[in-house]
Structure 1
Amino acid sequence: MAHRFTLVSTKHQRGDLMSVIVGAYAAAPRDIGAGAGFRRYVEDVLALPGVDGLEVPYIGADSPWNDLAYLRAADPSTSHVLTMIPATIMTLGSAPECGLASADGDGRRAAIDLLRRAWEFMAQVNGGSGGRFTGIELHSAPRHPLTSADAFRASLEEIAAWDWGGVRLMIEHSDAHSDAHEPAKGFLDLADEVKLAAELGLGVVVNWGRSAIEGRSAATPREHLASVVAAGRLDGLIFSGASADDTLDGQAWADLHAPIRDWSATVPVAAEAASSLLTADEVTACVTAAVAAPELRYVGVKVSSPSTATAAECLELVAANTAVVAAAVARARG
């Protein structure tokens, strides 16, 4: 049965575009599960000053993040973005040929089928009470050499024909393949993604951490940001850190959403961010560069908590990192 989304406005006014969203799932306590604790965590995140909505992970019906109840309970003014990266990465674990950019026909079809399930989930949310999805972040999986720009174009053309009801389709760049080092994701090059976005009228989202991982440098995110702004395609900017050193929860240059360095001088778990390349000054500089893009819709923050963090420390980490980003956005709004 076809779904029709409740129309979400895509008007381009500066005050509407620069919303702040939080990928709170990355920092949630490891044992949060479903129920009252989960609802309380989400409500506390949405109550943070300057926060307009969530970056919601699409995982599937068994995940509390894809439970309609908490989304319908949110304030109707709440504006969310759905990210396909968790489902994409989980699928690649058992089916490495699967992805919207797959040169393997069956793998590409499986990814489109996965996206259709996410589309149906968004239709349910936008057809009910509570907050609304206004955008979805897509990714150019699978890894090189199975990935193809032509295949990605074919998938995007097919997907764009669905009734999205005003929900914006965006390509979130992940680190591309490199012959010099092992990539974290190894998807398509940014230039290919920007070209396709321009041809098809889609947006592009720059993820600070994934760009840093690709270039093995804190300079790469600004370079990527500048190129997307110049192309007139920047819809979103997500602040997620990266580390050149091994940390408690992973190896150097892993896509672990490192927090902003020195986000606290008193909370013990903040020491785990000491090697993060993402700083408050870098946040300010990138937000300043991003606002040059009249098409900018949102700025987001997605950082992870150490596996040792308590529930209270997880929320404190999210609050502190969100405050840095929200302050930069507020200054840019003027």
Structure 2
Amino acid sequence: MAFMTYFLGAYAASPNVTGWDPVLETAYYQQLKQLPHLKGLEHPFVGRLHPHDDQWFLTNIDPAWDYVFTTIPGVMNALSQNPSFGLASLDEAGRQAALDFMWQANQAVATLNQHVGRAAVTAIMLHSAPARHKADGSAAALEKSLAVLLSWDWHGAQLLLEHCDALVPGQKPSKGFLSLQDELQVLAAVNSQVRPLKPLGIVINWGRSVLETRDPSGALQHIEAAKAHGVLQGIMFSGISDQATAYGAWQDSHQPIKNSETLLVGEPGSWLTEQAIQQCLQTCNGMALTVLGLKIGIRPLSATLTERMQYLQAQLALLASSNT
């Protein structure tokens, strides 16, 4: 698994994370283009190609970048308006709304590919909403939705399910979606019944799995489970912590990797360490993962562009050095 370049969830580290200044974002993208080890972007889908300005996005991207669309920002926006929204929803209107949202994503993939003149969108990450402490969801409903999605032309992109924290009794969730076991069983069922050209797979987000398990080895356990089921297709490294830092305790706020002797720029409270990354990558040794990358937020939110790029460059370099 000799990845030299990686996907970056650059939107989480943007100086525009709480607003929109196209001049500032243009400067940010110009510097992203200079980053070593950058394969392309994990790109947030909220119902349109870009959250603020589709044309700005098409003008400022690097034509050589590849993309993984993540639908979680749009899913969370929709859930704030309709708790029954989701591909796994038992409410038929909520499930149909999620399918309609995915059709919008399908069209955005086509638009981006047409602009760059190739199949630049490698994958699109789906989620097993709704939040089960607010609305009913099931594996059967998710399976039904995935069968519909696989009947569409995804313009070369692979459909992947990103596991988010499941609902755990007695524990406040961030997402509260389906359990990993349910998701793995659904993927196996759909792959065997529909037999898609590109089999459905799962992406493990390190921070979200640890948030669920409250155990720094939880992500590794999820990676091993997905691997055992033959559906592991990706890992996104994003940190989490039980400490009440600027990132919050048990918040899905994309903490950076913990600083160390080999990483001078990092988050001291983060549970995501160089050793944890190495363990996960060693478990996947020899596997051709579709998605491998990093997504970190930057605190304080007032951090300068220079400070943000220092974080991104140092943390991507650590990921690269860990993957040897």
For the residues of structure 2 that align with 1:97 and 1:83, how far apart are their CA atoms? 20
Of stretches 29-38 and 320-329 in structure 1, the one that deviates more from structure 2 is: 29-38
Of stretches 59-68 and 28-37 in structure 1, the one that deviates more from structure 2 is: 59-68
For the residues of structure 2 that align with 1:64 and 1:93, how far apart are their CA atoms? 17
Q: 2:206 aligns with which of 188, 205, 208?
A: 208
2:129 is aligned with 1:136 = no
Q: 1:164 aligns with which of 154, 166, 181?
A: 154
TM-score, with length taken from structure 2: 0.89
For the residues of structure 2 that align with 1:81 and 1:65, how far apart are their CA atoms? 18
In the TM superposition, residue 36 of structure 1 has moved relative to its aligned partner by 3.0
Once the two structures are superposed, the pairs formed by residues 6-155 of structure 1 within 5 Å of their partners are: 19-29=5-15, 30=17, 33-61=20-48, 63=50, 67-71=54-58, 73-129=60-116, 132-145=120-133, 146-155=136-145
Q: 2:271 aligns with which of 270, 273, 277?
A: 277
Kept in 2: contact 1:72–1:128 (CA 8 A) = no
Query: Which residue matches 1:325?
Result: 319
Kept in 2: contact 1:208–1:240 (CA 8 A) = yes
The SS at the match of 1:324 is helix
For the residues of structure 2 that align with 1:63 and 1:298, how far apart are their CA atoms? 21
Kept in 2: contact 1:19–1:298 (CA 8 A) = no
**Aligned residue type for 1:290:** C
Change (3 A) 1:66 1:216: farther
**Aligned residue type for 1:70:** F
Note the aligned Cα RMSD (angstroms).
Answer: 2.2
Kept in 2: contact 1:98–1:111 (CA 8 A) = yes
Q: Which runs of 5+ in 1 are unaligned?
A: 1-13
TM-score, with length taken from structure 1: 0.86
In the TM superposition, residue 130 of structure 1 has moved relative to its aligned partner by 6.3
For the residues of structure 2 that align with 1:18 and 1:147, how far apart are their CA atoms? 39
Change (3 A) 1:66 1:228: farther
Change (3 A) 1:24 1:75: closer
For the residues of structure 2 that align with 1:289 and 1:247, how far apart are their CA atoms? 30
**Residue deviations 1:266-323 (CA, integer Å, cap 9, x gap):** 66xx5xx2111001121122112123434x1231100101124222212221222111
Of stretches 235-244 and 36-45 in structure 1, the one that deviates more from structure 2 is: 36-45
Of stretches 31-40 and 58-67 in structure 1, the one that deviates more from structure 2 is: 58-67
**Residue deviations 1:160-209 (CA, integer Å, cap 9, x gap):** 10011321000000010100311111100111111222222301000000
Query: Which residue matches 1:254?
Result: 251
**Aligned residue type for 2:128:** S
The SS at the match of 2:115 is coil
Kept in 1: contact 2:109–2:154 (CA 8 A) = no
Q: 1:233 aligns with which of 231, 234, 238?
A: 231
Query: Which residue matches 1:187?
Result: 177
Q: Which runs of 5+ in 2 are unaligned?
A: 191-198
2:295 is aligned with 1:302 = yes
Query: Which residue matches 1:3?
Result: none
In the TM superposition, residue 66 of structure 1 has moved relative to its aligned partner by 6.0
For the residues of structure 2 that align with 1:209 and 1:160, how far apart are their CA atoms? 28
**Aligned residue type for 1:327:** S
**Residue deviations 1:71-118 (CA, integer Å, cap 9, x gap):** 465444321100000000111111111011111111111111111111
